[in-house]
Chains A and B, each alone.
Chain A
Amino acid sequence: MTREVTFVEAVREAQAEALADDDRVFIMGQEIGEYGGVFRATQGLAERFGAHRVRDMPIAEQSMLGAGVGAAVMGMRPIVEVMFMDFIACGMDAIVNHAAKMRYMSGDQLRAPMVIRTQGGSGTHHGSQHSQTLESWFLHVPGLAVVMPSVPQDVKGLFKSSVALDHPVLFIEHRALYRTRGMVADPLAPIPLGQGVVRRWGEDVTVAAIGKSVHQALVAARQLEEEGISVEVIDLRSLVPMDVDLVLESVSRTHQLVVAHEAVERGGWAGELISRVVAEGFDELDAPPLRAGSRATPIPFARELETVMICDERLIARRVRECLGLVEYSV
């Protein structure tokens, strides 16, 4: 059977199922216990599973993430919630220097299976230090999986695979999606990491995206359809591992590629994907692939300023037209 849930309900259910299925799973974070999480992502979990397994933390990201690594190497499977993705900067040492490297540098004696759950993104006027989209940082550190679901079903299916993985996982949610709704199969099989999905079939241009940008790509595709342009939209679902084959297959039919993400365009992961496609599928391309990402500024507060610099459906549509040579490319 299937039923409709919101994105944040799916996050909550995914964690509840992980706690119920495996005694080694526990959650750490700020305001996640009785309070239920500032976005209600852990509501009711402390009551159901106990405060020792749904542990409220002092505001101390470095020790929270580091204790997660230490518990993981001793056999636990922690879920660590970083309230805002911006705050992950305070705990980067634990992720980059410890979690990511334990298994490799110990010759596989230590493993750090942990899910680092966090949320980010713009659109709620939280300003420069509560709105960033920073997943690209983690692609550059070998040893970390990076997952960004776009719909409730994927939240649950990808979470199952993330908890089961014997490597640390960055599980990144966009808070603008929390109240969106979607159908979820029950029971639901795990969705393997590294398997993208085609959200919309098209013939002229492939748009590969992730998270909230998938929804914006679909909005752009509907607009472009009215202009007679047929857009295929791929939801990558995870960035490490990344389903490059799915993108190559799509590009072999459309011969055009736009990669869209809310992360800053400069140095963003779109460059990585495009580089792979150029290297492995150059002959299929009819035009240079383009990136649709946010402008390289901190995120401003005022509505009128934020919309100027954040990648949205209008930028994605423009990049598609640029790709097809209908308008001139501009940064």
Chain B
Amino acid sequence: MSDGTSAISVVSGPGAPRSAETLSPEGLDSMSDALLVEIFRLMYTIRRFEVVMERNHLAGDLYGPFHSSMGQEGVAVGVCAALESDDVVTSTHRGHGHAIAKGAELGPICAELWGRSTGYCGGKGGSMHIVSMAHGFVGQSPIIGGSELLATGAALAFDLSRDSRVAVSFMGDGAVGQGVFHETLNLAAIWRLPVVFVVENNGFAHSFRAEQMQLNPDIAPRADGYGMRGVVVDGIDVLAVYSATKAAVARARAGGGPTLLEAKCYRWRGHNLGDAEHLYRPREEVEKARRDDPLDRFRSAVSGRISSEHLADIEAAAEVEIAEAVAFADRSPPPGPRSALEGSL
């Protein structure tokens, strides 16, 4: 677990210290039992949802590309737990966890993955295009860089309409090579838009290791070039992610402008289901990384607060919810062919 001193570092931007300053996370003391329980419920649900979906994919129940977010639950949940329910989030191809963390319901998510009429997008989106506006989940863009575009635009809309909401853009480390990363960060900075750019640095852009694509192992210092605050956080530590996001969101909401928040984590699964992982990383590396599990870290962090029986009850309830979501998708009809021609010009 986090020792409370080294998990978050402000590395650049206005107010950044010469050497890495460490922020103390809002300790556990400031978090209610209800919030801690909810954080665990969401992390566990995402983990198990990905496992179950993968199994169903292999069984042929759902089809198309599938990008698991296993191992990155701490980032999705830590960030979203720090938001108000009407704040908005944009995401990527690896977005199931973000949708769940933002409060979207498992049934319509699952049905969307199944390509059914009851899915959030009526079967027109699929795994890479879940949207739930009712939950502020503006959606995924599997075009690398699209998440930044949409979140920056949403933040611009909030700025223009004097709306106090904040937009969060999730992206992977592969996104920072896109020109649009530079364009949107600069735009958000000069207009002081209420947006937080969260880079889930999971070490890989498909098969490419982060160090093959950039000489500086850290992404957050790039914020300096835009006069923006850059923060590095341990993405395995959900409490550190939560604290760092709280600070970034408060700053954005108060008119202090955007933050570039880099969460270091590790992608447990291949880029997609069926990825030829053996071509680019040894199994031992993955096994070693998986021993540092965000769920385990959380369990030990809250061991003095939440009983293991309570956590076991939450796990059991989550299993039921996932099973119900699968049953819902399974019994839902496919979309009527007429809808294929509706909604465009």
Contacts and interface: CB of A to CB of B under 8 A. Distances in A.
B149 A142 contact: no
B130 to A, nearest CB: 9
Contacts of A107: 119-125, 131, 343
Contacts of A52: 159-160
Contacts of B179: 62
Interface of A: 23-24, 26, 52-53, 57-58, 60, 62-64, 66-76, 93-94, 97-98, 103-110, 142-145, 167, 240-241
B151 interface: yes
Given A58-B190, A63-B149, A74-B153, A110 B138 contact: yes
A70 B131 contact: no
A213 to B, nearest CB: 23
Contacts of B148: 66
B121 A71 contact: no
A63 B189 CA distance: 13
16 contacts: A58-B187, A63-B187, A66-B153, A66-B180, A66-B184, A70-B149, A70-B150, A103-B344, A106-B120, A106-B121, A106-B124, A106-B125, A106-B131, A106-B133, A109-B120, A110-B138
B160 A26 contact: yes
Contact of B343 (A53, A66, A108): A108
Nearest to B131: A106
B161 interface: yes
Contact of B121 (A57, A62, A109): A109
A195 to B, nearest CB: 15
Contact of A98 (B131, B149, B190): B149
B174 interface: no
B152 A70 contact: yes
Interface string B291-333: 0000000000000000000000000000000000000000000
Given A74-B154, A74-B157, A107-B124, 19 more contacts: A58-B183, A60-B187, A62-B183, A63-B183, A66-B148, A66-B180, A66-B184, A70-B152, A70-B167, A73-B153, A93-B143, A94-B149, A104-B344, A105-B129, A106-B129, A107-B119, A107-B122, A109-B133, A143-B345
Contact of B124 (A24, A26, A105): A105
Contacts of B146: 66, 93, 97-98
A132 to B, nearest CB: 22
A144 B187 CA distance: 26
A76 B150 contact: no
A64 B179 CA distance: 13
A68 B154 CA distance: 9
B149 to A, nearest CB: 3
A103 B129 CA distance: 12
B160 A53 contact: yes
B6 interface: no
B141 interface: yes
A120 B232 CA distance: 45
B186 interface: yes
A53 B131 CA distance: 28
Pick the most buried of B123, B149, B179: most chain A CB atoms within 10 A of its CB. Answer: B149
A138 B129 CA distance: 23
A106 B149 CA distance: 17
B343 A104 contact: yes
Interface string B139-172: 1010101101111111111111100000100000
Pick the most buried of A67, A97, A104, A145: most chain B CB atoms within 10 A of its CB. Answer: A67
Pick the most buried of A57, A74, A167: most chain B CB atoms within 10 A of its CB. Answer: A74
Contacts of A109: 120-121, 131-133, 139
Nearest to A103: B343
Contacts of B46: none
A29 B130 CA distance: 31
Contacts of A60: 183, 186-187
A26 B148 CA distance: 20
B157 A70 contact: yes
Contacts of A97: 141, 143, 146
B145 A67 contact: no
Contact of B152 (A63, A105, A144): A63
A112 B62 CA distance: 29
B88 interface: yes
Nearest to B153: A70
B129 A66 contact: no
Contacts of B138: 70, 73-74, 110
B154 A110 contact: no
Contacts of A72: 153
A152 to B, nearest CB: 26
A16 B152 CA distance: 25
Interface string B205-247: 0000000000000000000000000000000000000000000
A66 B156 CA distance: 11
A76 B157 contact: yes
A110 B133 contact: yes
Nearest to B159: A52
A106 B187 contact: no
Interface string B176-209: 0001100110110010000000000000000000
Nearest to B178: A62
Contacts of B343: 103-104, 107-108
A281 to B, nearest CB: 23
A182 to B, nearest CB: 28
Contacts of A66: 146, 148-150, 152-153, 180, 184
Contacts of A68: 153
A164 B120 CA distance: 26
A303 to B, nearest CB: 36
A62 B186 contact: no
Nearest to A111: B343
